Structure 1
């Protein structure tokens, strides 16, 4: 593959992934991975997703900084960090492909049900203990299959939080889990010269995409944002099912 094609593919994936992340606060991997695999190996693509996701989330964090409440976010983060190594340890005993297929079906069913039944009342039970359990599950999924986002995203919808409240939770959660995952990849020797070249090519697209997505985020109301999130969860489910059957 020529250098020009390599750069175009990486920028295109980064632009798409950055836009979705800037708009929703998650989704870089689901959006960009399939594009990047035409240019780089799965190992490089996996680490590239973490780097670009982290960059996009940090870039757009000031937009929702005012909504971040530690008492709401911390119960997710601490168990989530505990869950990451647990999920990684499960890799040896679980068929990850079958697991991803199951998660894809869950996301698709939840998104479809929620879009069709919009009058659902928010759930208040469980308090911080339930939030912590969701954070733990998100960390395990992140360590096991790189899917730290779906559970906190669904739970924020179940709680009935506003768009800033829900985004403040799953964006800060994802920043924390991505940071831990990047440190893990670095320790495993996955931060290579090839990755550095890919990151250099992808970052301009990530910055531009995140900027555009963040600008659109500021224009949507709570109802529209909820619909966008549910649609993205549904698309994520379809992609996971399609790529693992």
Structure 2
């Protein structure tokens, strides 16, 4: 592996780890563009997915007390999300994933763009178990089809006026469970060859350290700032998907 490839892997690990520590989501958005310069697409996705899962444990520890406050609600997200992954993989041959990405991108841009520049944040505070499970299921399906598991849950949770720890205690375990399922499927398909494992070992220390820096920032921002962060990430995610699809 060349020194330039190692440099891009380290930059991607640094950017992805920081946003993982800060928001508990969005690792691929910030890391994948750099890592694709160093690795082929399958290896890059496999690396970012595994890095997201391993680095995410630090975020879970940060909100460990919030995780136990509402276990049934947490399961309403995790279980449908995991169930949706193989469904999404199965639908790959029936639905054009690129068209689906464009639709999701436009939706993210409209939502993120509208609320990013408004003084008042969206607010939806009543209990919605059916909607929660439906969004988690669709998120899992989108994860299996187009690696977009976090898009809808991120938008949905940014509308909830909850404390930041409570929001993160749903978003991060959901992402980790879906990405963990994806990691197992990639491993089963042989994506973790010696080159990918070597790249992961190079990226891991930087990713863990950057996540700690992101967690330091997370501790200092307010609940409303965290919701605005999720809305801003929705906008950036939509723009990133749109640019990749068009280019």
CA distance in 1, matches of 2:120, 2:208: 37
- Secondary structure at the aligned position of 1:49 is classed as helix
Task: Write out aligned runs for 1:37-186 (5 A).
Answer: 37-68=36-67, 69-119=70-120, 122-124=123-125, 127-186=128-187
Partner of 1:239: 240
Partner of 1:23: 22
CA distance in 2, matches of 1:28, 1:121: 24
On the 8 A contact 2:158/2:228 being kept in 1, the answer is no
On the 8 A contact 1:157/1:226 being kept in 2, the answer is yes
Partner of 2:189: 188
CA distance in 1, matches of 2:85, 2:31: 22
On the 8 A contact 2:84/2:141 being kept in 1, the answer is yes
Deviations 1:18-70 (CA, angstroms, capped at 9, x unpaired):
00111000111111111111110000001011111011211221111111121
Shift of the alpha carbon at 1:120?
5.0
Output the TM-score relative to the length of structure 2.
0.94
Could you tell me which runs of 5 or more consecutive residues in structure 2 were left unpaired when the two chains were aligned: none
CA distance in 1, matches of 2:224, 2:127: 25
On the 8 A contact 1:28/1:49 being kept in 2, the answer is yes
Change (3 A) 1:197 1:244: same
CA distance in 1, matches of 2:227, 2:120: 13
Shift of the alpha carbon at 1:189?
1.6
On the 8 A contact 1:153/1:166 being kept in 2, the answer is no
- Counterpart check, 1:36 vs 2:35: yes
Deviations 1:195-229 (CA, angstroms, capped at 9, x unpaired):
11110111122112111101110010011111222
The alignment yields a C-alpha RMSD, in angstroms, of 1.4
- Secondary structure at the aligned position of 1:92 is classed as coil
* Greater shift in the superposed pair: 137-146 or 225-234: 225-234
- Secondary structure at the aligned position of 2:220 is classed as coil
Partner of 1:4: 3
Could you tell me which runs of 5 or more consecutive residues in structure 1 were left unpaired when the two chains were aligned: none
